[in-house]
Amino acid sequence: MMLIFRSPLFHLLIYCATQTSGVKIESVPNINSEGLVLTELEKTVSLICSSEADEDLVWLRNGAVVNLMEGNRKGRSSVCVTPVIYEDNDATFTCHVSGNTTDRDSVTLNVRYPPTLSGSEEVAVEDGAVLVLQCDIWANPPVSSLSWTLNGSAVDLFASGFAVTNDGFTTQLTANSADASLHEGAYRCTANSPFHGEHSKDFQVRVTEKTMKFPLMPMIAGIVVVCLTALLAVVARWDRITKCCK
């Protein structure tokens, strides 16, 4: 997934450049000084475009034309975004007069959402296998800090042989060789955000004994060969067997 991050200055330039035209967009919730409409998931955003000229208006969402019903075009036109979803974040809505794309106004949605961290998960891993614990931390605004704890104390990466990765979307706590004495217990992943507060997810890790793994296909092939050999042997001696039974 590709994300395009635009600076507040970029949105402000778009907003200011369009305020001298005859087309104007109003919004509920209101548009801030940077030309952004701040909203949250599952909310509703109402956009109203008006023009001094009594002509048809055209709406664009990220450059694509928005289909409008008859009666919702001339002089005044509205677009409703409901419910707001993740994909609406950073979506730019533009309104212009039909046949005159220079007479336009634009606003951009800024959808705020917390990381999806909650609940608990039980994890069973064999002794010596790779242990991977993962948390989704994708949020807007991004989380400001992240921590991992084991049995209530900060995870000792060096002593426990752990590695932590974080790509802004997910964070992973990984141990290449699970050991009950080091890695078994209650884990917690916690993300902090000045806007969304604290969110966490728990893991209960249990390290099990290593099990013997038999190669299934060779075993099946061996059984088939033995059965066929026995069947052929019976067929080859069938005459003698029938004579003995008479």
Task: Report the Cα 217 to chain-centroid distance in Å.
Answer: 38
Whole-angstrom distance, CA of residue 172 vs CA of residue 47 = 40
For every residue of the chain, DSSP letters joined together read -------HHHHHHHHHHHTTSSEEEEEESPB-TTSEEEEETT--EEEEEEESS-SBEEEEETTEEPP--TTSSBSEEEEEE-S--GGGTT-EEEEEETTEEEEEEEEEEEEEB-----SEEEEEEETTSPEEEEEE---BSPPSEEEEEETTEE--HHHHTEEEEE-SSEEEEEESS--HHHH-EEEEEEEEETTTEEEEEEEEEEEEPPPP---HHHHHHHHHHHHHHHHHHHHHTHHHHHHHH-
pLDDT computed for residue 17 by the predictor: 46
Instruction: Write down the pLDDT at residue 12.
Output: 47
Predicted pLDDT of residue 22:
87
* pLDDT digits (tens), the chain, 246 positions: 233 334 554 454 444 444 445 899 999 999 999 999 999 999 999 999 999 888 899 999 999 999 999 999 999 999 999 999 999 999 999 999 998 999 999 999 999 999 999 999 999 999 999 999 999 999 999 999 999 999 999 999 988 899 999 999 999 999 999 999 999 999 999 999 989 999 999 999 999 998 766 555 666 666 766 666 666 665 566 555 555 555
Q: What is the predicted pLDDT for the residue at 217?
A: 67
